[in-house]
Amino acid sequence: MEEFTEEIIPERAPDQPELAPEPQPETPEEQESIADKVRIISPTRLVLKRFFRSKLSIVGLCMFLFLLLFSFIGPLFVPWTETEVDYSGKTTTTIVSVETEADGEVYTVYMVEEFTGSINNHASAFTYSNEGENSRLHLFGTDENGRDTFVRLMYGGRMSLMLSFLVVIIYTVIGVILGGLAGYFGKWVDMIIMRIVDILNCIPSLPILLIVGAILDGVGIDQAVRIYYMLGFLALLSWTGVARLVRGQILFLREQEYIVAAEALGMSPMRKIFHHLVPNVMPQLIVSMTLGLGSIILYEATLSFLGLGVPISMASWGQMVQRATQNTEILSYYTMEWLPAGILIVLAVLSFNFIGDGLRDALDPKMKR
């Protein structure tokens, strides 16, 4: 690796390119003339450099991009849609052995029974629908209602990724605002907000979500939108961590010289909080948001697993796994109907954990490597 000393210059405005303009050497001689190789690297560049140096972060990023493409672009390339049922029919053949006794001897008679259903359910992987010439491929087979498993994985992914981003953004915004107010103003504002945080921390979230789910059902909320309300409620319960983090950082930063200078310049509190304090909390916030994405995906899957997610006609990873627990037949014989969904949940959470971990190391100024 080349030797150079890194000098950190203050971050530029976001609209400027993140690359600090470097003097471009025109000739080899000139390159030698800056042989000291003092390169000026902006903090963003430094962080990116550190981030991409870790193999795990790259793996995480690749997994995330794969999932993103898989769930948002993927359905374009699959000839099925989320709720489409394969009505092309299916012939099941069963062999029944019957023992009969005749002429004093026991015979075993095998009867071949054929049954043709109208729905092509439980199709195996890599089979085609029985539609004659324009039959379509079921890459991962179909579920018990004759819907294509592969395309449902994609739609399930859309749901999971979109919802987790939404929830994390909502609770981070709430947390930043309340934590910022508590940390900056202190006194009674801090008192009230931190007491609310303590109360929310004491509330067990899963039982509460179960109750909320039941209440929403009773109020007559459409099942298709119920999950949004549920996760909205989850966001209302989960902002406490962010608020604590922001508050702690602001308590620390408030004593720094540049805030004293800002005070002396007569800046308004809002400007101080959102222009000077919050940007300094950003590194920790980004890390906690990335790790939060994973845990929200787990929550969404768990809610779907408990039957509180999207309605059965819509796809969701958690719900696909859940069917295996309700039906031992699916669990034992139709692995393709639940295993990929579970693996995708793990992949999604893992990718966010890898990225978050890589970011934490990259953003940590104490890390030397």
Partner 1 sequence: MVKYIVKRVLYSALILLIVSMLLYLLIRLLPMDYVEQKFLSQAQQGTINEEELYRIKALYGLEDSSFAGICRGYWKWLVAVFQGDLGTSFLYNQPVTEVISDHMWISFGIALAAFILQYAIAIPLGIKAATHQYGAVDYTTTVLAMIGISFPSFFIAILLIKVFSIDLGWFPLQGIQDADFTGTPLELFGNQLWHIILPMLAITIVSIGGLMRHTRTNTLEVLNQDYIRTARAKGLSERTVIYKHVFRNTMVPIVTMMAGVIPSLFGGMMILEQVFALPGIGQIAYRALSQGDIPFIMGYNMFIAILTVIGTLLSDITYMIVDPRIKITK
123 binds partner 1 per the rule CB under 8 A: no
- In three-state form (DSSP H/G/I as H, E/B as E, the rest C), the secondary structure along 198-218 is HHHHHCCHHHHHHHHHHHHHH
Q: Which of 161, 182, 193, 212 binds partner 1 (CB under 8 A)?
A: 212
Query: Least distance from C-beta 342 to partner 1, angstroms?
Result: 4
- Closest CB to partner 1 among residues 162, 346: 346
Helices (H), the chain: 28-33, 43-53, 55-72, 149-185, 187-202, 205-219, 223-238, 240-253, 257-264, 269-271, 278-305, 317-326, 328-333, 339-363
- Closest CB to partner 1 among residues 132, 204: 204
Which residue from 285, 275, 272 is spatially nearest to 239, judged by alpha carbons? Answer: 285
Query: Least distance from C-beta 223 to partner 1, angstroms?
Result: 15
- Closest CB to partner 1 among residues 176, 197: 197
- Closest CB to partner 1 among residues 130, 353: 353
Q: Which of 306, 311, 327, 364 binds partner 1 (CB under 8 A)?
A: 306
- Closest CB to partner 1 among residues 137, 331: 331
Residues numbered 166 to 205 that lie near partner 1 (CB under 8 A) are 195, 198-199, 202-204
Query: Least distance from C-beta 333 to partner 1, angstroms?
Result: 9
Look up residue 267 and give its two tokens: 């800046």
Q: Which helix (H) or strand (E) holds 5?
A: strand 5-8
Residue 85: beta bridge partners?
147
208 binds partner 1 per the rule CB under 8 A: yes
Query: Least distance from C-beta 264 to partner 1, angstroms?
Result: 30
Query: Least distance from C-beta 295 to partner 1, angstroms?
Result: 9
Q: Are 320 and 22 in contact (CB under 8 A)?
A: no
- Give the contact letters, 215-254, x = binds to partner 1 (CB under 8 A), - = no: x-xxx-----------------------------------
The whole-angstrom separation of Cα 67 and Cα 65 is 5
Q: Which of 294, 309, 340, 358 binds partner 1 (CB under 8 A)?
A: 294
332 binds partner 1 per the rule CB under 8 A: yes
The whole-angstrom separation of Cα 116 and Cα 94 is 11
Residues numbered 21 to 80 that lie near partner 1 (CB under 8 A) are 56
Tokens 């796809």 belong to: 315
Which residue from 215, 242, 222, 240 is spatially nearest to 313, judged by alpha carbons? Answer: 222
Q: Are 119 and 145 in contact (CB under 8 A)?
A: yes
From 18-26, 76-84, 146-154, 299-307, span contacting partner 1 (CB under 8 A)? 299-307
The whole-angstrom separation of Cα 173 and Cα 176 is 5
The whole-angstrom separation of Cα 309 and Cα 332 is 24
211 binds partner 1 per the rule CB under 8 A: yes
- Closest CB to partner 1 among residues 78, 210: 210
Neighbour tally for 123: CB within 10 Å? 24
Tokens 């019957």 belong to: 98
Distance from CA of residue 296 to its chain's centroid?
7
Cα-trace Rg, the chain: 29
260 binds partner 1 per the rule CB under 8 A: no
- Closest CB to partner 1 among residues 130, 327: 327
Q: Which of 4, 79, 335, 365 binds partner 1 (CB under 8 A)?
A: 335
Q: Are 167 and 205 in contact (CB under 8 A)?
A: no
Tokens 């902002």 belong to: 239
Which residues are at the interface with partner 1 (CB under 8 A)?
56, 195, 198-199, 202-204, 206-208, 210-212, 214-215, 217-219, 294, 298, 301-302, 305-306, 318, 321-322, 324-325, 331-332, 335, 338, 342, 345-346, 349-350, 353-354, 357
